[in-house]
A and B are shown apart, each in its own frame.
Chain A
Amino acid sequence: MNRLTTRWLLFAGLAVVVVVSYLVNVDLTTTVSARIDKAYRYLEELPEGTVIMVSFDHEASSLPEVRPLALVLLRHAFRNDLRIIGLALYAEGTSIGYQILAETAAEYDKVYGRDYVFLGFRPQHIATILGLGESIIKVFPEDYLAHRCDTLPLLSEVMNYEEIDLVVSIADSDRPTQWVEYAGARYNQRIMAGLTAAMITSHDPYVSSGQLYSVIGGLKGAAEYENLYGVKGGGNRGMLAQSNAHLYIVALIILGNIVYFSAGRRKGGR
């Protein structure tokens, strides 16, 4: 079998595993980890009307992973009547962030300007994070929809981090660490992160040290959060496919090792 055929078969196998996992209707139970529970409890216990900031610090390519996570977090916040200030520190996160925020706000009949606002994007994230600690209106004189921010009721009550209980950075990069370094260290702002799975290990030290309040990581994190929230969504839908895809990869690794060592033994025996 040539290399191209082998590669083709491996990819086709993976596609079959994922598609079949979607077509069979099996409800896979996921255990809620302590970190997800901590994040959920925190949001659950915040008093009605509390302001949280959600920053969409990701690119479009990671949307399949961050969207379920962002949706369940925002739904939870809106269900508990928390008020949300959205923004983006990645240009690509701007329209995605607004779309997700507006979509979830509509589900709960939330009013733009009173219950939520979307500030839009600012380049130079360090200056932006530091600037928000002084004055939100100075950094964002206008919001994403070109309203003057000083005319929005929500922003007339919120000047800077003093009035914001929590910042959630939904990211596919190390942007949450910059929130920790500039908003956390300098303004004592509580930071939480919603991350793609690939970024979990690089943020672990910040969770252990308490600099990040908690981390919701990957599709599995979204699925666990959905279980606590009580409404299953994209996270849970993908869990069976993810588990089966992992089993498929583990089987390939075992098979590859068997082929490698048996080929080595044959060579050595000659």
Chain B
Amino acid sequence: MDIGVIIAGLLTLAVYSFLYRDNPLYRAVESWLIGLTVGYALVTLWQTTLMDMLLTPLLKQGRLILVVPLVLGLLMFSRFTPRHSWLSRIPIAFMIGTGAGAAIPAMLYARTLKQLSSSVMPLTGAGGGLNIEAIVVVVGLLTTLAYFYFSREHKGLMGRAAGLGTYFLMIFFGATFGFTVMSRMSTLIGRVDFLLTDFFRVIG
């Protein structure tokens, strides 16, 4: 049997031993997982960012313009000394400025305008009959918005609309919870599949 399969199988069983009760083996495996994840991310970031995008082009290819991001990056460390910590505002300002500049128009279009326009649908179908889906969307949208409108007391028509909105919200939360359960079950099933097929070799 492949050594990787043996290690993975034993580690999987060690993690599941927590279901019986907390134990040192589980805690050791948990610590290894955290250490490995952080170590892997650190090495990947070191290689793909610092080496590939900064140090190699700067030192080997002589791209001097990269001194600018290098200095900006180093200024972030000024936060460790209270006297010079104000210098870190320069790279932070740069990051916020570029981030907001890139994100605001894109998000405004994709998350707000496009979503809004797709919520506005004809309430009647091609044959003249009612478009039930469109009606449900409109009612759901307006009543859910009513629930989150706090500038007016939820009484009368507003209260009834907000009350109906909670049902739409509950349906959404229920669906999300159901899919999350499905997702967690899939993770368990994936591990059981691995244990029975590759580790114990019970099924072919």
The answer for the CA separation of A157 and B189 in the assembled complex, in Å, is 41
Instruction: Assess the A186–B106 pair: CB atoms within 8 A.
Output: yes
A260 smallest CB distance to B (angstroms): 18
Chain B interface main SS type? helix
Interface size on A, residues (CB 8 A): 59
Q: Which residue from B107, B180, B188, B203 sits with its C-beta under 8 Å from A197?
A: B180
Q: Which residue from B115, B176, B187 sits with its C-beta under 8 Å from A65?
A: B187
Asked whether any CB of chain A lies closer than 8 Å to the CB of B124, the reply is: no
Interface size on B, residues (CB 8 A): 46
Q: Which residue from A19, A67, A130 sits with its C-beta under 8 Å from B190?
A: A67
The answer for the CA separation of A246 and B102 in the assembled complex, in Å, is 43
The answer for the CA separation of A19 and B21 in the assembled complex, in Å, is 21
Interface 0/1 of B174-204, CB less than 8 Å to A: 0110011111111111111110100000110
B101 smallest CB distance to A (angstroms): 11
By a CB distance below 8 angstroms, the chain B residues around A121 are 44, 48
A190 smallest CB distance to B (angstroms): 14
Interface 0/1 of B92-128, CB less than 8 Å to A: 0000000100110011011100110110000000000
By a CB distance below 8 angstroms, the chain A residues around B114 are 185, 209, 211
Asked whether any CB of chain A lies closer than 8 Å to the CB of B31, the reply is: no
Asked whether any CB of chain B lies closer than 8 Å to the CB of A44, the reply is: no
* A window 161-213: CB within 8 A of B: 177, 180-182, 184-186, 196-202, 205, 208-211
The answer for the CA separation of A168 and B106 in the assembled complex, in Å, is 19
The answer for the CA separation of A181 and B99 in the assembled complex, in Å, is 13
Instruction: Assess the B106–A198 pair: CB atoms within 8 A.
Output: no
Number of A-B residue pairs at CB separation under 8 A:
139
Instruction: Assess the A64–B181 pair: CB atoms within 8 A.
Output: no
In the complex, identify which listed stretch (A30-38, A71-79, A102-110, A235-243) lies at the interface while the others stay far away: A235-243
Instruction: Assess the A122–B48 pair: CB atoms within 8 A.
Output: yes
Chain A interface main SS type? helix
Asked whether any CB of chain B lies closer than 8 Å to the CB of A43, the reply is: no
30 contacts between A and B (CB under 8 A): A18-B189, A19-B196, A22-B196, A22-B203, A23-B202, A60-B37, A64-B189, A91-B41, A91-B45, A92-B37, A121-B44, A122-B48, A141-B57, A142-B52, A177-B110, A181-B110, A185-B106, A185-B110, A197-B179, A198-B176, A199-B179, A200-B179, A210-B118, A217-B179, A218-B182, A234-B190, A237-B193, A238-B193, A242-B182, A245-B189
Closest 4 CB pairs of A and B: A64-B190, A209-B118, A198-B183, A197-B183
A residues near B (Cβ < 8 Å) are 4, 8, 11, 14-15, 18-19, 22-23, 60-65, 67, 91-92, 94, 120-123, 126-127, 130, 141-142, 177, 180-182, 184-186, 196-202, 205, 208-211, 217-220, 234, 237-238, 241-242, 245-246, 249
